[in-house]
């Protein structure tokens, strides 16, 4: 008898960018490749740090794998915690060029798309679980306006007609190796980030209704 294959979870990280030699989002995601979490097999994919090409690669992976859950992960140097993103906005406004040299300013991601999408993840439940495990975490109200937000918005737009598939975005700090080149910058070891992603994935697969706890900001 042939064993029934596990359904998939798609986790994505990014290639290095902005002169960095590594990207901890890909290192942390890649470490989970093939793991079984809550009855689902993790498939890790690395996205290019390029407007347009990143979404093409993401859509291709979704079509290929038909995952039950998609969590995209990106590096946000300077952040101090695991940042569970709540909102993706329909604008590209690049402070620096992407890896292909593109630098869109005040351009929409999806013509005639909504101004914003909210995450499909139970981010409050994920926040509570991470903090209970001693992992520094926060709810973030902005994913920026670079390729990370581009991917987050594009993901939620792609999943808008797949109500059974959850999706969202998580930002992570520098790795210690990167922080050594950016004096004073906070960091988290890739192993801690992988643990955070493992736990977040489990919560996203098992918690149907998010908890109601205060996690907003005053600024």
CA angle centred on 159, ends 24 and 16, rounded to 5°: 20
Catalytic residue among 40, 150, 157, 171: 171
Query: Is 138 in the active site?
Result: no
Query: Is 72 in the active site?
Result: no
Distance CA 195, CA 136 (A): 12
Asked if 105 and 51 count as a contact pair (C-beta separation under 8 A), the reply is no
Distance CA 112, CA 186 (A): 38
List the beta strands (DSSP E) in the chain: 8-14, 36-37, 40-47, 69-75, 82-85, 87-89, 116-118, 137-140, 166-172
Q: What is the CA radius of gyration of the chain?
A: 16
Distance CA 187, CA 48 (A): 23
Query: Is 182 in the active site?
Result: no
Catalytic residue among 20, 27, 50, 85: 85
Q: Which of 187, 152, 157 is nearest to 170 (CA)?
A: 152
Catalytic residue among 27, 138, 148, 150: 148
Distance CA 158, CA 178 (A): 33
- Which residues are catalytic, by number? 85, 148, 171
């Amino acid at each position: 008898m042939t064993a029934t294959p596990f359904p998939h979870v798609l986790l994505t990280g990014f290639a290095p960018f902005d002169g960095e030699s590594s990207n901890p989002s890909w290192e942390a995601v890649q470490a989970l490749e093939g793991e079984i979490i809550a009855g689902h097999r993790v498939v890790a994919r690395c996205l290019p740090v390029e407007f347009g090409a990143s979404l093409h690669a993401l859509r291709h992976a979704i079509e290929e794998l038909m995952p039950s859950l998609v969590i995209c992960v990106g590096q946000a140097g300077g952040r101090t915690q695991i940042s569970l993103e709540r909102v993706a906005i329909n604008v590209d406004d690049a402070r620096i060029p992407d890896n292909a040299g593109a630098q869109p300013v005040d351009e929409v991601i999806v013509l005639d798309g909504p101004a914003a999408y909210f995450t499909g993840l139970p981010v409050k439940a994920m926040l509570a679980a991470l903090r209970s495990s001693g992992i520094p975490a926060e709810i973030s109200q902005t994913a920026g306006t670079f390729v990370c937000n581009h991917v987050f918005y594009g993901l939620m737009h792609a999943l808008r007609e797949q109500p059974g598939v959850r999706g969202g975005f998580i930002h992570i700090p520098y790795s210690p190796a990167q922080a050594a080149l950016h004096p004073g910058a906070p960091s988290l070891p890739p192993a801690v980030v992988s643990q955070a992603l493992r736990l977040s994935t489990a919560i996203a697969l098992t918690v149907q209704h998010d908890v109601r706890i205060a996690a907003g900001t005053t600024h």
